Amino acid sequence: MKLAHKLIIGVIIAFFISSFLFMLFRFMGNMILHNYCKRTEVILDNEQKAISDMQRYIFDHKLGIEDVQHIDRWIQQRELIMVSIYNNDTLIYSSYFNNNDDKSIKNVVPLKNSYKLYFKDEKVDVLILYLFEHHYRDYVMYFGLLIFFLLFTAIMFFLIKTKVNYINELEKDIKVLETGALEYEISIKGNDELSALANSINEMRKAFIIREDYSKKLKESTNELMAYISHDLRTPLTTMIGYLEILIEEDNIKNTDAEKYIEKSKDRAYQLKKLIDNLFKYFFASIKTESQIQLITYFGTTELYPMIEESISVLKDAGFSVYNKTTNDNYYIQMNLDLIRRIFDNLLSNFLKYADVNEPIEIINYIENHQMIFEFRNKIAQKTSMCESTGLGIKTCEEIMKSHKGTFYYEERNDKYISRLIFPII
């Protein structure tokens, strides 16, 4: 059933329950009130209060017997009171009739339950009919309407509060799922759009679990396959390299064309071995998740600068000139030293292969936007053999920096190659 239909039915039920209790309260209240108001002492008490009030009005306005019609003003200020005034058993005023009515009413004999009323010049008898019960009936009506409103509101509040509580429960369940606890099941209550939503979330949760299990099994199978391939490729390749080195050492091979071809074959074998090693380094770097990589907080100057100095020393030994500008600011970063060392090794390898030895290599680091940035610039050599470049080194650097919540950036601008390592400072 749709939520809107449930709400309409709830409104109807709340209305009928509230109406029934309103009518029951009104019936019981009026019955109790009627039994109370028909008691003689209650009637006399209310009539005497009305007579006292009328007598006070006469005194206050100094009315005489000839001013009897002024009683109309007092009657108009009060509701549900009817009065007949007699002087010597003759009707001289009645709120039942107006002055144009038949004069035969003048000789009506008053009832025995009359009250004395004093004008300034005459004493008269008064008959009074006070329908005071109707005042109390109005109070019963007003109180009944209040009960109707409060009960209707309470029932609707209960119905809406039930759904709001369920929405809050769904919100808490979803927050549990956001933490990664996919085994946690969303509670399903009722049969409406909210329960359908909860069921859809459960189905989506189950689909995620199945996909995660499949991904995990696929990753395990891939890792196992890559380990087997790595072993199966490296073993014969290493053996072949060994055979080639033995052949080169043979006396009958030295200083012949065969030695030259064997040397080239050995170089190609080493090149192939290096490509395979780079391939597996990138693969195993890319499959590691952040939770699998242990990051430790280090003082940046203490740990990173020695790596830079070591790279500068190697570059200078290879004939490069290096311009190094470092910041003296103190900072802390989280990193895995082994993985960061691999990045610097990759960058150093690229410098040695592709940088122009006649132009200086620039190494600059600075702090910007709460980040430590290492920037490397070099001119690209004119006769660089790009056949050895597979891009795996760059991919490896990107994956490692991503696992450190940082960024690896690179670009070629004219004949310049620029790369940046961006670490978040803690």
User: For the domain that residue 371 is a member of, what is the CATH number?
Assistant: 3.30.565.10
Are the C-beta atoms of 76 and 95 separated by less than 8 Å? Answer: no
Tokens of 256: 């012949």
User: If we measure between CA atoms, which residue out of 362, 354, 350 comes closest to residue 394?
Assistant: 350
Q: Is 110 part of a structural domain of the chain?
A: yes
Q: Is 145 part of a structural domain of the chain?
A: no
233/231 Cα distance (integer angstroms):
6
Domain count, the chain: 3
Residue 239: how many CB atoms within 10 A of its CB? 10
Q: Is 246 part of a structural domain of the chain?
A: yes
pLDDT (0 to 100) of residue 406: 92
pLDDT one digit per residue (tens) for the chain, 426 residues: 677 888 888 899 999 999 999 999 999 999 998 898 889 899 899 899 999 999 999 999 999 988 888 888 888 888 788 899 898 888 888 887 654 444 444 444 444 568 999 998 889 999 988 888 888 888 899 999 999 999 999 999 998 898 888 888 888 888 888 888 888 888 888 888 888 888 898 888 888 888 888 888 887 777 777 766 766 666 667 767 776 777 777 766 666 667 777 777 777 777 777 777 666 665 655 555 444 678 889 988 888 888 889 889 889 988 999 999 888 788 899 998 888 988 898 888 888 888 999 999 999 999 998 999 999 999 988 765 444 555 667 887 888 898 889 999 999 888 899 999 999 998
Are residues 361 and 241 part of one domain?
no
Q: Is 162 part of a structural domain of the chain?
A: no
Sheet with 123-130: list strands edge to edge: 90-94, 81-87, 123-130, 115-118
Q: Is 185 part of a structural domain of the chain?
A: no
Tokens 């993985």 belong to: 339
∠ CA 191-197-198, rounded to 5°: 80
50/115 Cα distance (integer angstroms):
11
175/155 Cα distance (integer angstroms):
31
424/404 Cα distance (integer angstroms):
8
Are residues 120 and 72 part of one domain?
yes
Look at residues 233, 265, 286 and tell me which one is the last residue of a structural domain: 286
pLDDT (0 to 100) of residue 1: 65
Are residues 25 and 79 part of one domain?
yes
Are residues 418 and 309 part of one domain?
yes
Are residues 414 and 303 part of one domain?
yes
Which residues of 237-292 form beta strands (DSSP E)?
none
103/122 Cα distance (integer angstroms):
22
pLDDT (0 to 100) of residue 414: 84
Which residues span the domain enclosing 260? 208-286
Are the C-beta atoms of 19 and 27 separated by less than 8 Å? Answer: no
Q: What share of the chain is helix, strand, coil (3-state, %, to 5)?
A: 60, 15, 25
168/171 Cα distance (integer angstroms):
5
Q: Is 177 part of a structural domain of the chain?
A: no
Are residues 400 and 306 part of one domain?
yes
Helix (H) or strand (E) holding 246: helix 193-249
